[in-house]
Amino acid sequence: MKRTIVTIGREYGSGGQVIGKMLAERLGVPFYDKRLIAMAAQESGLSEEYITRHEETKTSSLIYNIYFDATNLPLNDQLFIAQSEVIRRVAEEGPCVIVGRCADYVLREREDCLHVFVHAPLADRMRRVVEEYGLEADNVQAHVLKHDKGRAAYHNRFTPNKWGDSKNYHVALNSNLGYNAIVDALEILAKSREGNQ
Amino acid sequence: MKRTIVTIGREYGSGGQVIGKMLAERLGVPFYDKRLIAMAAQESGLSEEYITRHEETKTSSLIYNIYFDATNLPLNDQLFIAQSEVIRRVAEEGPCVIVGRCADYVLREREDCLHVFVHAPLADRMRRVVEEYGLEADNVQAHVLKHDKGRAAYHNRFTPNKWGDSKNYHVALNSNLGYNAIVDALEILAKSREGNQ
């Protein structure tokens, strides 16, 4: 019986990363997000600072046209390719939870995945980034919307799927249901998927 | 502690109705779908035959313009209003599972609801309507798509929300996860919601 790989896409401030960490602990499997960047950086030779700065932000058309390197691909595309390779490698190694990085699309051919999307109403996400993430910003709404826009653009640039469209995920959840209940539900769905392999 | 009212929207052939029935049995609460039509018919004075024929099908603009009655509202609008009244009444009576009829939107002001959407890839829904529903049709794909179109048009006519958009539901699920696992997960989420009242 193969154990399930869980990918989690999430709106900014929805708590999707926290849910991912909790679920990985519950399932006793590795959790990947920023670690992926470091691993991708090592593989691609791109500096970690560059990657952190540009991760999940679609390159503007101007920069897109300027930043070509010897491989004739924009750095952002190189980064996506490198990260996708890392995602495929860690998935090959065994069950895990992967947050962000279009992992749902990168691993679309695998049958042993549970693809999850976490969302929440804007007002709740604004509250969460202040209370839980400790954000100090003059305009919290603009901050949240900017991050959403970046994630949607990143996903829509590198995949044919619409970011957050329920049909692209096995399960999409409003995080206001509560982290604990969501982790309980996802554990059931992940384990059920194992039975279907 | 108030117990949860579950509304389920679903793509045609996704098995959402079966899941709704199973969940209602699990929770020990009433299940409403066709029964609602009968109740609505009694309330509105519209014939049950008319309602069955027109339920969840957006009236074409021609019919829309022709079928005005004494109240100056098209029959389809009268039907929606009557069904909405029934939905509000049964929700007021206590916890239940309601499939279809824009119940998610009709009950949007209530805090004690869990709004669910069930979907599945087209190929799986085509298989399901033949194998599970026993449909005999020359063109199964056209049959499924026609029903989807009708449901989407109905929802999009009577609500400002986009049918099936994950953001309008607490949880959206691909029924390929399996009916039993989904009912287990929904039971957890419904009960967790009770604790939040």
pLDDT of residue A65: 40
Q: What distance in Å separates the CA atoms of residue A154 and residue B143, rounded to the nearest whole number?
A: 36
| Residue from the list A117, A167, A177 with its beta carbon closest to the beta carbon of B189 | A177
Q: What distance in Å separates the CA atoms of residue A21 and residue A85, rounded to the nearest whole number?
A: 22
Q: ipTM of the predicted structure?
A: 0.83
Q: What residues of B are in contact with residue A152 (Cβ under 8 Å)?
A: none
| Residue from the list B117, B176, B184 with its beta carbon closest to the beta carbon of A188 | B184
Top mean pLDDT of A96-105, A181-190, B133-142 is at: A181-190
- Based on the number of CB atoms within 10 Å of its own CB, is A37 exposed (0-12), middle (13-18) or buried (19 or more)? buried
Q: What distance in Å separates the CA atoms of residue B72 and residue B82, rounded to the nearest whole number?
A: 15
pLDDT of residue B50: 59
| Residue from the list A165, A166, A185 with its beta carbon closest to the beta carbon of B185 | A185
Angle at A143 between CA A140 and CA A146, to 5 degrees: 150
pLDDT in tens, B101-158: 889 999 999 999 999 999 999 999 999 999 888 888 788 999 999 999 988 888 888 8
Nearest chain A residue (CA) to B187: A185
At A98, the pLDDT band (50, 70, 90 cuts) reads very high
pLDDT in tens, A126-173: 999 999 888 887 889 999 999 999 888 888 888 888 888 888 999 999
pLDDT in tens, B47-100: 666 556 655 555 544 444 444 444 566 667 777 888 888 888 889 989 999 998
Question: What residues contact A121, with CB distance under 8 A and at least 6 apart?
Answer: A174, A176
Percentage of the residues of chain A whose pLDDT score is greater than 90: 47
Nearest chain B residue (CA) to A180: B192
Contact B141, B126 (CB under 8 A): yes
Q: What distance in Å separates the CA atoms of residue A102 and residue A129, rounded to the nearest whole number?
A: 22
Cα–Cα separations (whole angstroms), residue A73 to A65, A102, A124, A179, B20: 10, 19, 39, 40, 50
Instruction: Report the SS3 class of residue A39.
Output: helix
Strand B113-119 and strand B171-174: the pairing is parallel
pTM: 0.85
- The answer to whether residue A155 neighbours chain B at the CB level (below 8 Å) is no
Cβ–Cβ gap A166/B184 under 8 Å: no
pLDDT of residue A71: 53
Q: What residues of A are in contact with residue B178 (Cβ under 8 Å)?
A: 192, 196
At A41, the pLDDT band (50, 70, 90 cuts) reads low
Contact B118, B100 (CB under 8 A): no
Nearest chain B residue (CA) to A192: B181
User: How many angstroms separate the CA of residue B66 from the nearest CA in chain A?
Assistant: 37
Q: Where are the alpha helices (DSSP H) in B110-177?
A: 122-131, 140-158
Cα–Cα separations (whole angstroms), residue B171 to A47, B17, B113, B188: 39, 16, 12, 12
Q: What is the mean pLDDT of residues A13-42?
A: 86
Min mean pLDDT across A179-188, B38-47, B165-174 is at B38-47
Cβ–Cβ gap B166/A170 under 8 Å: no
